[in-house]
Chain A
């Protein structure tokens, strides 16, 4: 009896030590993914990927690489990441929007260290350019979205107006809508909250030939074109053409109002139709058009792009780790997986290989890809971007309470260039 027990114990010890060595050869990657919508978690960790999930499928296809993957909401992701960095516990792979601070502080691995060449060539070059600092690519785009003007077709017909293309036409249209509906319908939606104040800034300054930076790429938030543009936007609010509380009403509030027929026009991403469908706003008959620009200026769409980046880890076996990260990317961007991911939350792709399948599944994608082709992006590669992003929102909110736009923008410019 005793002998049997000893043998059993020995066998157990051997088995355990064997699995231990097997684990030792595995590379485990800590991955943080941003939560884009209700399906993200399910796709990565639940059963949203044909009854299975990304982590399971990846580990089956890549023995020796384990994923410790966490989906974090946009509300918490910055807190989570910076706390982990402070505790010397940065993730291996991170999916987020900004990258410049991490790159400037020497925390990131250059993309060429881990990204397979074939995959690298598949990314849209204009997207890759947005992640370059000092001639080095620090992150790859995971997806994009583009913004355009949505308008309520039925209302426009009822009032008898055309879709505005210039700022002057926009004001006329707003006035006509106010005259027709009284206070029942807001003509124009503006979101100047901390969520997206920078988007509001971009819609107007880019439509007036201005921008966050000048032609040389230096900060120029207080250019004359910008001052005029923001004064115009604030003017729309003051004339009563917009939702009443732009500083606290987010884009989602506006999308709800638009869906419920309370707002006639809103600038929103390509995901608006499915947002409306999900929320049960089935009655809204919408049209899509270019964002109005000032007379003689070209309309610019706002492209928003998020990224995937890899953090350095000096303690790891670099070659094995880099290879594992490469495998993660290859698996993620494999059209078989990636097309499902992009279309699931209604985004636009970042790689050429996905375009064909996406257009086939949903022909409206093609028009959006055109919009995306002409879109401008935020200067997220510049180190001061976070300050500028919060700064322009602050300027807008201060202007809403009566502040002088020029003075406010001058102060912001001085603050970021000091």
Chain B
């Protein structure tokens, strides 16, 4: 009897061990190295020197591009996460209805998610190209426009396209998270609400949203992390040009590290990004968990 108890005690840890080893080797250890590098002097060629305190952080924050890049990052995360959550939620509601071809519709929705981001971004790059872009071609052939339009006339517009592509590729993830939440809701709740004479909005706000909240929380927290760290879309479409005006923190620190050979400030920026993400997602989770408990 005793031996079974002892086994129960250590058995979970044995099963967890492979993941713990993997996490330590490929996640925790590299994070520790980045933290160490952020406080070290790194030469242009890549030689790691001694401890320099917060010098790398000061250099990174003092750079003229830092402010605009942080604002871009903020706009990028809020717009992509916000809009994709809203649209993804609506799509999940639609896909949760009974209609002919629902299965087909569900698999189509997953397409953008199943394709690699680099390919997606490259395709969009072609679509909005001025000279031979598909969008111009289609509109011209349909007679909707008389002359090709430069869809990337200014960097503000280019950044909007990037956000648009970000939203497009993020929607499927939200849709499926919410859809799984919706499917787990017992139909009896809706029946009861209908019997009580609840309108569509009342059902939505009093039954659906509270019950899918856990799925929504998971999708939002994961999305904040994914979108904040998303690199391929911006790098493929503009590479942050002109003059870092379409960069987010991730693309900016990549260019800083590997184009400008300023690896010290770049590692400092990645530590800043990591800290921001930990704080934001931690805060968001705490807030929503509290609500659920209440």
The interface of chain A, by Cβ under 8 A from chain B, is 78-79, 81-86, 101-102, 105, 107, 183, 192-194, 244-245, 247-248, 257, 260, 262, 386-387, 390, 394, 397-398, 400-401, 403
Contact = CB atoms under 8 A, between A and B. Distances in A.
B259 A390 contact: yes
A398 B243 contact: yes
A386 to B, nearest CB: 5
Nearest to A383: B44
A64 to B, nearest CB: 31
Contact of B44 (A83, A84, A248, A386): A386
Contacts of B260: 386-387, 390
B155 A401 contact: yes
Contact of B243 (A81, A386, A397): A397
A397 B242 CA distance: 5
A247 B148 CA distance: 20
B243 A401 contact: yes
B106 interface: no
- Where chain B touches its partner, the secondary structure class is loop
A247 B242 contact: yes
A262 B152 contact: no
A83 B245 contact: no
Interface string B231-260: 000000111111111000000000100111
B243 A394 contact: yes
Interface in B47-92: 47-48
Contact of A79 (B43, B239, B245, B258): B258
Nearest to B150: A244
A403 B130 CA distance: 24
Contacts of B42: 86
A229 to B, nearest CB: 19
Contacts of A390: 259-260
A401 B245 contact: yes
Interface string B23-48: 00000000000000000001111111
A248 B45 contact: no
Nearest to A86: B46
B239 A82 contact: no
Contact of B255 (A82, A102, A194, A262): A194
Contact of B130 (A86, A193, A245): A245
Contact of B46 (A82, A387, A397, A400): A82
Contacts of A105: 43-45, 47
B219 interface: no
A106 B51 CA distance: 21
Interface residues of B, number: 33
Contact of A193 (B43, B46, B239, B244): B239
Interface in B233-291: 237-245, 255, 258-261, 263
A397 B150 contact: no
B130 A82 contact: no
A194 B155 CA distance: 15
A102 B237 CA distance: 32
Interface of A is mostly: helix
Given A194-B241, A245-B150, A247-B242, 12 more contacts: A78-B258, A79-B258, A82-B45, A83-B46, A101-B261, A102-B45, A105-B44, A107-B45, A247-B155, A248-B238, A387-B260, A398-B243
Interface in B130-159: 130-132, 147-148, 150, 152-155, 158
Contacts of A192: 242
Contacts of B44: 101, 105, 386
A394 B244 CA distance: 8
A101 B45 contact: yes
A193 B241 contact: yes
Interface of B: 42-48, 130-132, 147-148, 150, 152-155, 158, 237-245, 255, 258-261, 263
A232 B248 CA distance: 31
A403 B43 CA distance: 31
The 7 A-B residue pairs with the shortest CB-CB distance, nearest first, are: A82-B46, A397-B242, A247-B242, A397-B243, A85-B46, A247-B241, A101-B44
Contacts of A257: 131
Given A82-B261, A245-B152, A398 B46 contact: no
Given A245-B152, A398-B242, A194 B46 contact: no
Contacts of A247: 155, 238, 241-243
Contact of A101 (B43, B130, B147): B43
B242 A401 contact: yes
A194 to B, nearest CB: 6
A248 to B, nearest CB: 5
Q: Which of B47, B48, B132, B153 has the most CB of A within 10 A?
A: B47
Contacts of A85: 45-47
Given A105-B44, A105-B47, A248-B238, A194 B152 contact: no
Nearest to B125: A248
14 contacts: A82-B45, A82-B261, A102-B45, A193-B239, A244-B130, A247-B242, A248-B152, A386-B44, A386-B260, A387-B260, A390-B260, A397-B242, A397-B245, A400-B242
B33 to A, nearest CB: 10
> Most chain-B CB neighbours within 10 Å: which of A260, A387, A394?
A394
Contacts of B242: 192, 247-248, 397-398, 400-401
A78 B241 contact: no
A303 B167 CA distance: 44
Contacts of A79: 258
Contacts of B158: 248
A190 B158 CA distance: 19
A192 B243 CA distance: 10
A183 B147 contact: yes
Given A244-B150, A397-B243, A400-B242, A86 B48 contact: yes
A381 B147 CA distance: 48
